[in-house]
Amino acid sequence: MPRPRTPTRALELKGSFRKHPERRRPLEPTPNGPIGEAPVHFNDAERAAWYELIGILPQGVAADCDRWAIEVLSRLMVRFRTEDDFPAALLAQMNNLMGRFGMTASDRAKLSVPVRKEEDPLKEFITARPQEEAVQ
The pLDDT tens digits of the residues spanning 40-85 come to: 999 999 999 999 999 988 777 888 889 999 999 999 999 999 998 9
Please give the pLDDT value at position 130: 59
Q: Among 107, 85, 83, which residue's Cα sits nearest to residue 95? A: 107
Please give the pLDDT value at position 109: 72
Decide if 73 contacts 53 (C-beta within 8 A): yes
Domain locations in the chain as residue ranges: 33-111
Q: pLDDT-based confidence at 118, cuts 50/70/90? A: low
98/56 Cα distance (integer angstroms): 11
- The percent of residues above 90 in pLDDT, for the chain, comes to 35
Q: Is the pTM of this model over 0.75?
A: no
Q: Which residue has the higher pLDDT, 45 or 127?
A: 45
In the chain, the N- to C-terminal Cα span, in Å, equals 83
